[in-house]
Amino acid sequence: MAVIADDKKLSSGVLQNNLYENVNRQFNKAADLMDLDSSVRDRLSKTTNEITVNFPVRMDSGKLEMFTGHRVQHCDVLGPYKGGLRYHPAVNINEVRALATWMTWKGAITDIPFGGAKGGIQFDPSKYSKLELERITRRFTFALGNNIGPEYDIPAPDVNTNAQIMAWILDTYLSMMPPHERQRCSHVVTGKPIEAGGSIGRDKATGQGVVFSIVEWAKDKGFNLDGATYMVQGFGNVGSWVSKLLKPYGSKLVAVEDATGVIINSEGIDPDDLTIYVKANGGVGGYSKAKPGDHETFIKTKADIFIPAALENQITAETAPLLNVQLVAEGANGPTNPDGDKILVERGIDLLPDILCNSGGVIVSYYEWLQNKRSEFWDIEEVDSKLEKRMKKAYIKVRDAARNYKTDWRTAAYIVALSRLETVLKERGIFP
Ligand code: NAD
């Protein structure tokens, strides 16, 4: 878990946009182009359940503090609700709605039997002790009660949450179950520590999926990854894994931005060395084997591939014209807003959209869930090869839809997802 040490950029208005509006614009564009059934369109344009809980937690000082958390469940027609939990001061109901909706599309594109959900607590975890974080997590789980469950709604890590936090959720949830039912409920969360029932390969899964997508794109384009340059925004779970996993292909990391600063080195930054530094120092700021820079210099850096792996609304009408790259591979959810998308298309910059590119996390979460249900432990080769096969299949479907509909890749990814959902929703109909 990367600690967000400096939130200056968050108060600059970047995240104040209504993220849910972005989702609706993306959705409407695809629905128009594919002529989506109007009743299916109505159903998918609304979330199913929105749970907001206000709950008290005792601080180390002995004082009590109130917190607000959300869980939004968008659609469960393909399977149980599934999606991460985010701890961040910018968490709000519209953001959670957007993130929940994207989860539905991801499950649909990758053919996994999950619906979409997301949750979060609005607070800055870097300002609380480990014991306070544990109590906040446990009280949130208690407040959610039966709104989550192993066959109903399954949380996972997201920004500022990690395997440890999943272990606390698991323990709290199981403690609320009757003793004889506890052993069959370990799949109530995924992204757990391996010893507590997590899957090998889940920690790197999102980054691994991003890399598998980039490799497919490179094959399609006849692009040589050996010697290619890449820049990464966010050096937490997703950003650090993408960086490390691209290294064996001979690609060179030339710039990184996180909440603590920007570092640039056209000769290359070693992702493994940087990971050790970030673990010790909480961020990339101050890394001595690269030059410091500012946000604008970072965005203008010349590189072949840009991997946004931090927060949303980073590639916009203001920043998209400044990018100096051939490909944007979205590790983060919603890093590009619709205005940014338009400019990327106009400028001929390729895009691997979030709902395809970062779906490796939910895919391996599905594998973890399956292993728990069957009391199995797969090895890393099995997890990786299954992930690669599924990512490739999803990539090909999106690429072909882009060709068939003569549209951009984000709209194509939506069309793939919406087609599957349309079929199932029409087959099942409406009760009563
Ligand atoms: P994380 O908490 O591990 O890392 C977040 C990173 O973003 C940190 O390096 C932090 O310093 C940086 N950051 C925060 N604010 C920033 C700012 N204003 N400017 C620049 N950098 C900033 O989170 P993560 O799990 O790596 O998630 C990153 C993104 O990937 C999120 O959009 C998340 O929804 C998405 N995602 C994560 C997973 C997963 O499995 N963890 C799966 C799919 C998508």
Per the structure, the complete domain to which residue 318 belongs is given by: 1-46+202-360+407-432
Element (H, E) at 49: strand 49-58
Answer yes or no: do 213 and 285 share one domain.
yes
Mutate to test the pocket of ligand 1, among 9, 22, 238 (most ligand atoms within 8 A of CB): 238
Which residue minimizes the CA distance to atom 3 of ligand 1?
Answer: 236
Question: Which CATH number characterizes residue 6's domain?
Answer: 3.40.50.720
- How many CA atoms are closer than 13 Å to the CA of 175, on its beta-carbon side? 10
pLDDT tens digits, residue range 179-236? 999 889 999 999 999 999 999 999 999 999 999 999 999 999 999 999 999 999 999 9
Q: Report pLDDT for 17.
A: 53
Answer yes or no: do 152 and 249 share one domain.
no
The answer to the question of residue 332 being in a domain is yes
Token representation of residue 390: 């599924």
Q: Which protein residues touch ligand 1 with a CB less than 6 Å away?
A: 1-2, 4, 9-10, 157-160, 206, 233-239, 257-259, 283, 309-311, 331-333, 358, 361
Answer yes or no: do 261 and 312 share one domain.
yes
pLDDT (tens place) for every residue of the chain, 432 residues total: 333 333 333 333 344 458 999 999 999 999 999 999 999 999 999 999 999 999 999 999 999 999 999 999 999 999 999 999 999 999 999 999 999 999 999 999 999 999 999 999 999 999 999 999 999 999 999 999 999 999 999 999 999 999 999 999 999 999 999 999 988 999 999 999 999 999 999 999 999 999 999 999 999 999 999 999 999 999 999 999 999 999 999 999 999 999 999 999 999 999 999 999 999 999 999 999 999 999 999 999 999 999 999 989 999 999 999 999 999 999 999 999 999 999 999 999 999 999 999 999 999 999 999 999 999 999 999 999 999 999 999 999 999 999 999 999 999 999 999 999 999 999 999 999
Closest ligand 1 atom number to CA of residue 310: 7
Which residue minimizes the CA distance to atom 14 of ligand 1?
Answer: 259
Asked if residues 325 and 306 have their Cβ atoms less than 8 Å apart, the reply is yes
Last residue of a domain, one of 141, 156, 190: 190
Question: Which CATH number characterizes residue 110's domain?
Answer: 3.40.50.10860
Cα-based angle 119, 120, 126 (whole degrees, multiple of 5): 155
Q: How far apart are CA 271 and CA 73, in angstroms?
A: 36
Q: Report pLDDT for 18.
A: 85
The answer to the question of residue 250 being in a domain is yes
Q: How far apart are CA 286 and CA 291, in angstroms?
A: 9
pLDDT tens digits, residue range 54-70? 999 999 999 999 999 99
Residues carrying an active site annotation: 118
The answer to the question of residue 394 being in a domain is no
Question: What CA–CA distances, in Å, run from 428 to 78, 105, 416, 423, 425?
Answer: 11, 18, 19, 9, 5
User: DSSP label at 237?
Assistant: H
Answer yes or no: do 87 and 33 share one domain.
no
Closest ligand 1 atom number to CA of residue 258: 21
Answer yes or no: do 277 and 412 share one domain.
yes
Answer yes or no: do 289 and 429 share one domain.
yes
Last residue of a domain, one of 136, 170, 190: 190
The answer to the question of residue 380 being in a domain is no
What's the total number of domains in the chain? 2
Last residue of a domain, one of 139, 162, 190: 190
Q: Report pLDDT for 285.
A: 98
Question: What CA–CA distances, in Å, run from 152 to 31, 118, 301, 363?
Answer: 28, 13, 44, 17
Separation of CA 422 and ligand 1 centre (Å): 31
Answer yes or no: do 137 and 248 share one domain.
no
Closest ligand 1 atom number to CA of residue 361: 40
Dihedral angle at the C-alpha atoms of 217, 350, 17, 73, nearest 10 degrees? -30
User: Phi and psi of 195, rounded to 5°?
Assistant: -65, -25
Which residue minimizes the CA distance to atom 31 of ligand 1?
Answer: 332
Q: How far apart are CA 214 and CA 211, in angstroms?
A: 5
The answer to the question of residue 385 being in a domain is no
Token representation of residue 429: 């109909």
Answer yes or no: do 309 and 266 share one domain.
yes
- Burial class of 130 by CB neighbour count within 10 A (0 to 12, 13 to 18, 19+): exposed
The answer to the question of residue 158 being in a domain is yes
- How many CA atoms are closer than 13 Å to the CA of 217, on its beta-carbon side? 23
